[in-house]
Amino acid sequence: MTLAPATEATDRGRTGTTRHFLMCRPDFFTVSYSINPWMHPEKDTDTARAVRQWESLRQAYESLGHTVSLIDPIEGLPDMVFAANGALVVDGRVYGAKFAHPQRAAEGPAYLRWFAERGYETLEASFTNEGEGDYLTLDEVILAGTGFRTDVAAHMEAQEFLGRPVVTLRLVDPRFYHLDTALFPLNGHNVAYYPEAFSEGSRKVLRRLFPDAVIATSADAEVLGLNAVSDGRNVVLNAEATGLTLELKRRGFEVVPVDLSELRKSGGGPKCCTLEIRPNRETR
């Protein structure tokens, strides 16, 4: 199966699709433990600066016409700001997260409770998974990462609950511990990714599915340039990803650079902070 490639002609001039995002203000952000190579508790963090940068990201989304809902942060959960990890929402159904590390375990129930209280159909996961950190949804398939944080059995559980085909991709570089640090959907049928983050078999799958993909350099991947959010027209990404920015512009996308350097001390970027709430297709 090859997904239809995006072309410059189809992307240029297109208005981005309005999205609904869930975010969590980083009022309690700090780096007090290390569960990925980006995290160094011995280095200082600036919570106020993290909040300012996060507010700029929220404002960027709202300026593009997107809706942002908020979940209250919980003291003692400094990584709760990374809302993408809290769940996967497809067609109005919510597949809950079950975190790999005990430091984040309470986040999954907190996010699932937020959705349940608002009437969403939810499923508490039986297998370890970290929400949209390792699940990226396109029009016809869900790409699912494994290797560090998400069990392959969770891919099957998500597929059964959501009724969408799930394609497993294996991550091999611990710097890119979630799928959303190494790949992002440009639109419903094409992606940008960093090949070296994936196993050889997964690279072959990506080449087959996305022959017209944007291929990122190591320089852009190493500033988490692929931890980005696209609405099909506008791409919000880390400002330091300059090569990726140029290629996206060449393809006809509008680029919205943001500075999330403080949150990057935990290995997070724009996508990590952003959980998409996808409504039921029938209600759109």
Please state, in angstroms and rounded to a whole number, the distance separating the CA atoms of residues 208 and 204: 6
Question: What order of strands is seen across the sheet that includes strand 121-123?
Answer: 87-90, 93-96, 121-123
Task: Determine which one of 66, 155, 189, 272 is catalytic.
Answer: 272
| 214 three-state secondary structure | strand
Task: Determine which one of 66, 155, 178, 189 is catalytic.
Answer: 178
**Cα distances (Å, whole numbers) of residue 45 to 54, 78, 85:** 14, 11, 21
Backbone φ, ψ for residue 259 (5° rounding): -110, 110
Please state, in angstroms and rounded to a whole number, the distance separating the CA atoms of residues 66 and 88: 18
Q: How many CB atoms lie within 10 A of CB 242?
A: 15
To the query of whether residue 24 is one of the catalytic residues in this protein, the response is no
| 127 three-state secondary structure | coil
Amino acid identity of 53? Q
Q: How many CB atoms lie within 10 A of CB 150?
A: 29
Backbone φ, ψ for residue 275 (5° rounding): -100, 120
| Residues forming the active site | 178, 272
